[in-house]
A and B are shown apart, each in its own frame.
Chain A
Amino acid sequence: DTAVSQTPKYLVTQMGNDKSIKCEQNLGHDTMYWYKQDSKKFLKIMFSYNNKELIINETVPNRFSPKSPDKAHLNLHINSLELGDSAVYFCASSQDAGEGSGELFFGEGSRLTVL
């Protein structure tokens, strides 16, 4: 059973479109995250949620909107896609309350290409 699963794995879309990525974790963790990894492999946190509450919201354009319907799910919706949004988006989860003391487990990533 996959611990952190995200769909879709690949997304190719046109500039200006809206897209969503879904994430689910079956580890029973309290905190979930979205990270963006650029072409140089740098992982940058975007958002984190603890028990459905937003706890980290980095400087991310408001075209990006996370939603956590319950503590096992964290989705990411992106409006008006731009070329610079092309990246791999990783969902992750940890047992801690978002203060960084727990081990972080990642999904396989969703590769977004904006044309």
Chain B
Amino acid sequence: QKEVEQDPGPLSVPEGAIVSLNCTYSNSAFQYFMWYRQYSRKGPELLMYTYSSGNKEDGRFTAQVDKSSKYISLFIRDSQPSDSATYLCAMSANKFYFGSGTKLNVKP
């Protein structure tokens, strides 16, 4: 079983939709949780960084961590075509573990 599971998609939504991206994990030692956005042929760019359970909001993005269910989510409100990218979840204990990424396409 992989440490971090993420649905690869692709996920296609119309502009303005609310997007929900999710990851599950198996290692209860994970304490730090991150979401990265990766455009085609670019490096991953850190979007959200959270410690432990709870919600964190930054503009149109909300990251949610539920440690009891070993489940993290990223919500994107009022999605834009410029949000089209691959979204990678990551978490860490003594090192970083990444999901395989969900490809998101926001159609104008």
Contact = CB atoms under 8 A, between A and B. Distances in A.
Contact of A104 (B31, B93, B96): B96
B100 A40 contact: yes
Interface residues of B, number: 25
Task: Tell me the dominant secondary structure on chain B's binding face.
Answer: strand
B38 A101 contact: no
A45 B96 contact: yes
Interface residues of A, number: 23
A94 to B, nearest CB: 8
A42 B44 CA distance: 12
A101 B92 contact: yes
Contacts of A106: 36, 43-45
Contacts of A4: 43
Interface of A: 4, 33, 40-45, 48, 56, 90, 98-101, 103-109, 111
